[in-house]
Amino acid sequence: MDSVVANAAIGFYGGLLDYSAQEVDLMVDVNVKGTVWLARAAVQQYRAQGSGGDIVIIGSVAGLLIGGGKEAVYSATKGAQINLGYALDRELRGEGIRTTTIAPAGVNTPFAAADGRFGDVDPSQGPFMEPTDIARAVDYTLRQPRRMRTELWTTWSMAEEH
């Protein structure tokens, strides 16, 4: 094994008091704990192989600066992923294990289109990134020479403001 991608995510659109305890737990379990457990398994495997490898975390710009309202808990879980990526980079870099977090903004997925996140814009007609764009970013990251690393890569569509 030479790479893993932590791409699972779940989120609910609503104000802080709109979330049920189950929704909060689910976001933390999937977005934070899922990323932690995948990273742990990858590190154990890389060490058993005696080799380095890559851990790529798909976060969100919501975890950095734009929790654009009505997504505070989701933003907090994505911020946790970003901070985990930075911490793992410092912990594991000396073993040849690279950790990259890719933090996209609006991507045309059913998850992002739910609950009116795209407003009145039809995401299939709009200026949003496609999942294949993020897959290409992952591929590019993994193809970097081993002497290089990208800690955090934010991606925005040409039409988005931040």
The catalytic residues are 74
Is the whole model's pTM more than 0.85, yes or no? Answer: yes
Cα-based angle 131, 74, 53 (whole degrees, multiple of 5) = 55
Q: What radius of gyration, in Å, describes the C-alpha atoms of the chain?
A: 16
User: Quick one: pLDDT at residue 66?
Assistant: 63
The CATH classification of domain 3-155, taken from the options 3.40.50.720, 2.40.30.10, 3.30.465.10, 3.90.25.10: 3.40.50.720
User: Quick one: pLDDT at residue 143?
Assistant: 96
User: Quick one: pLDDT at residue 162?
Assistant: 64
CB burial of 115-138 (b: ≥16 within 10 Å; e: otherwise) equals eebbeeeebeeeebbeeeebeebb
User: Quick one: pLDDT at residue 121?
Assistant: 62
Stretches where the chain sits below pLDDT 50 are none
User: Quick one: pLDDT at residue 76?
Assistant: 93
User: Quick one: pLDDT at residue 161?
Assistant: 67
